[in-house]
Amino acid sequence: MKYEKEAQQILHYVGGSENIKTFTHCATRLRFTLKNDDQVDESALRNLTDVIGTVNQGGQFQIIIGNDVKYVYKALQQFVKVSDEKIPENEEHKSVLNKVLDTVAGIFVPIVPALAGSGMLKAVLAIVALLGWINTDGQTYQILNFISDAIFYFLPMLLAHSASVKFGTNPYLSITIGGILLHPTFTAMIATARETGSAIQLFGLPVTPVNYGSSVIPIILTIWFMSYVEPLVDKIVPKVTRIFSTPLITLFIVAPVALIVIGPLGTFLGDGLAGGIRWLDNYASWLIPMVIGTFTPLLVMTGMHYALISIGINSLAKFGFDTVAGPGMLVSNIAQGGAVLAVALRSKNVKLRSLGISTGISAVLGITEPALYGINLPYRKPLYSAMIGGGLGGLFLGIMGVGRY
């Protein structure tokens, strides 16, 4: 009942169902794409008991709830009636940076829970194996290991779906494209081509023998390309045959272009990005984690941390470890948690102390928005302290060559 009441109040203050195009949630925030931001009563929203703060960035109006966000979201679904009619975005009002950030966030936010769960399972397996509590040659370990690895290998298929939602393509056709890149026959052809030096050809055109398991950029570029092909085909084909002719022609165009052009190009860009980061690591390994450790709170406020997360995932896919997002964000999270826990320890205000303890624990475990918007940003000094602590922690990790595996 509590969440239903909160959901109704939120709905009222964002302008009602008629003002909502789409809405979703991430780990701590409700994310709305609204028709008219002027109809929002931000002051009233911030005064709600369970609302920590509000942010309007990247074309989204975001309400920071904290760890209970999924319950508020489910309650909100009962009252929001969003039309299925596709409403054109007011892209002209967005800067290029906002468009990029909105796209990156829209693609990566939905898969974060799966990444977090699989990553934590890998961490637990690593610890129990290190302590000798499990036989790494046994089937139990091997099965748990491939369970934790599955999302990383099939990452193109997950990204295909989230990218399809963002770019407005058919999600199942998009997943099919992701499956094509990972098909066992194709991967076997790649392995054979690499061993023998033979060529792979499609219509007489060369197909670069690239393994797309765990890749990030190729599938995103492919679905972006598909977002132009599919509606064009839909307009050209007769209406009576559209149900089968549109997907047929779209697949026939997009899949070959992905294998011959976009896939290799995306791989080249991903390799170049990862190579540039490794080069920087070789010559100034302390720099990236120190900068990220210092400025992660500001990146979170602007949504730019999702760009870093995508770079980190790309590094994990290419090299098996990440020195970009993981180390710097780790110490920044802990520093923010430490800052709000210090406020809780020093404060005589019971409500502030309670908020500091709950948000501090959440921040240390990796979810910093409640701490950032609830205490650090309003009181400023804890934010400055967290940035200094995060920067020094990042500097230490950089000097010691710490990475996320």
Q: Of 11, 26, 69, 363, which residue is the catalytic one? A: 26
- 65 phi and psi angles, rounded to 5 deg: -105, -40
- Sorting pLDDT into bands at 50, 70 and 90, what band is 86? very low
Q: What percent of the chain has pLDDT over 70?
A: 91
Q: Are residues 292 and 276 in the same domain?
A: no
Q: Are residues 165 and 276 in the same domain?
A: yes
Domain residues for the domain of 268 are 154-280
Residue 121 lies in a domain: no
Number of folded domains that form the chain: 3
Query: Residue 302: its pLDDT value, please?
Result: 60
Q: Which of 92, 114, 134 is the last residue of a domain?
A: 92
**CATH code assigned at 46:** 3.30.1360.60
Residue 13 lies in a domain: yes
- 83 phi and psi angles, rounded to 5 deg: -65, 145
Q: Are residues 262 and 296 in the same domain?
A: no
Q: What is the mean pLDDT of residues 232-245?
A: 89
Q: Are residues 308 and 391 in the same domain?
A: yes
Query: Residue 85: its pLDDT value, please?
Result: 41
Closest CA to 158 of 220, 241, 68: 220
Query: Residue 1: its pLDDT value, please?
Result: 63
Question: What SS3 class is residue 321?
Answer: coil
Query: Residue 305: its pLDDT value, please?
Result: 73
Residue 64 lies in a domain: yes
Q: Are residues 251 and 333 in the same domain?
A: no
Q: Are residues 259 and 295 in the same domain?
A: no
Residue 385 lies in a domain: yes
Out of 277-286, 320-329, 386-395, pick the least confident. 277-286
Give the ranges where 52-95 is alpha helix by DSSP (H): 69-79
Check if 24 is active-site: no
Tens of pLDDT, residue by residue over 185-220, are 999 998 898 888 888 999 988 888 888 887 778 899
Q: Which of 280, 314, 341 is the last residue of a domain?
A: 280
Query: Residue 89: its pLDDT value, please?
Result: 47
Q: Are residues 79 and 197 in the same domain?
A: no
Q: Are residues 321 and 361 in the same domain?
A: yes
Q: Are residues 272 and 341 in the same domain?
A: no
Strands (E), 92-230: 200-202, 205-207
Residue 55 lies in a domain: yes
Residue 140 lies in a domain: no
Distance between CA atoms of residues 131 and 144, nearest Å: 17
Residue 134 lies in a domain: no
Which position has the higher pLDDT, 189 or 60? 189
Query: Residue 226: its pLDDT value, please?
Result: 95
Residue 258 lies in a domain: yes
Q: What is the mean pLDDT of residues 7-28?
A: 85
Q: Which of 227, 245, 280 is the last residue of a domain?
A: 280
Q: Are residues 274 and 297 in the same domain?
A: no
Q: Are residues 297 and 357 in the same domain?
A: yes
Q: Are residues 234 and 297 in the same domain?
A: no
